[in-house]
Amino acid sequence: MTPSARIQAAIDLLDAIIASARDGGPAADTLIARYFKERRYAGSRDRRAVRDHVYDAIRRAAERPESGRAAMIGLAQDQPALAALFDGSPHAPLPIEPGERGAPASAVPGWLQPLLAAPVEQDALLGRAPVDLRVNRLKAAPVQVAPLFPDATAIPGLPDALRLPEGSPVEQHPAWKEGLVEVQDAGSQWIAAACDARPGMTVVDLCAGAGGKTLALAAAMAGQGRLIAADTIRSRVARLEPRAQRAGATFIDTLLLDQAHEERGLAPLQGQADVVLVDAPCSGTGTWRRNPEARWRLTPARLERLVAEQRRILDFAAPLVRPGGLLVYATCALVDREGRDQVTAFLARYEGWIAEPIDVPVGRAHGGGVLLTPGHDGSDGFFFARLCRPA
């Protein structure tokens, strides 16, 4: 592919990604993989260059562009060398017309700006994310694993964590294949630590997804006790089983819930759990470093639905907690309505419950919980709180 043809390929991909974001279709990575599967002539350098163009354009524009051409012209405004590649040659984009405008540059959609938590450093929301590992204590100790990753650095306060440079191919490493490590952002590890899960406890991970935090809880419990990973999406629950096998966390029970009727499936657990983790579905504003395209999918209406769903989940989670037990609420979001305000409203609804202080060497106290941000803490963005049921 010529350099100009790479620009046109990026434009074609961006058109597909914009339409998919608008219509709730597949993610950018999926669309890029499909595109090149159908174009075997594109070499590895071509694929890498096109992908870089696409993600540079996505990171640059917080508002969903009108078209892939507008997105790339916007990028060319910042990188003048790209503008010369709009030359109209075969397989190249047409020249940029005088006055033709590109997509404007911004980090956060305008409508969302006033909703972000006040301490958020917006210029850091789209930085490149490192690769964080958690040593799996069901199979190894950090002192055994650290020498296997000579490029890794420790993360203060997280004894099981290692940090690698961005893009490190961990899943090709024998330590990952043998279940000695899991890829898990430091912020996610802090949330698992806040659960204070211990051997012999009954712990429920209520929105388990593919089980990243479930596996961290399993390691903290040393394989002893009862750990239930629940979700309403069958494919997510199915992805946990091979991960648990690799990690040696075979004592995990999975529970597929019927959405909108979760209470039925959870009825036997009422008042039984020492800890319930609600890692709630959210806007994902704290993960834009890894998924900048999510900005193009988020709308005010979708945020309203998420806030309502978070409240609903909290309301069927609370009865599961035994007297004196903990409900840990977390979102990978930096919008106050999804974090601080949800906790305030929960405490108003449930008499006697309290938000316990969380003693961690990262983050900032925020409302009834802790706020982690990429700029301040070097992790993905999270809000989390420990809510204690009265004994």
Give the residue carrying structure tokens 């977390």.
Answer: 330
Give the angle 208-289-50 at the CA atoms, nearest 5°: 115
The active-site residue out of 195, 282, 332, 388 is 332
| 332 in catalytic set | yes
Question: How many Å separate Cα 199 from the centre of its chain?
Answer: 28
Which among 266, 332, 276 is positioned nearest to 129, based on CA atoms?
Answer: 332
| Alpha helix positions (H), the chain | 3-23, 28-37, 44-60, 68-78, 80-83, 142-145, 174-177, 186-194, 212-220, 234-247, 262-266, 294-297, 300-317, 340-349, 374-377
Q: Please count the residues of the chain.
A: 391
Q: Which amino acid is at 86?
A: F
Helix (H, G, I), strand (E, B) or coil at 382: strand
Are 339 and 383 in contact by the 8 Å Cβ rule? The answer is yes
φ, ψ of residue 298 to 5 degrees: the values are -85, 130
Are 358 and 382 in contact by the 8 Å Cβ rule? The answer is no
Please provide the distance, in angstroms rounded to a whole number, between the alpha carbons at the two ends of the chain. 68
* CB contact set of 40 (below 8 Å; sequence gap of 6+): none
The residues pairing with 130 across neighbouring beta strands, listed in sequence order, are none
The residues annotated as belonging to the active site are 332
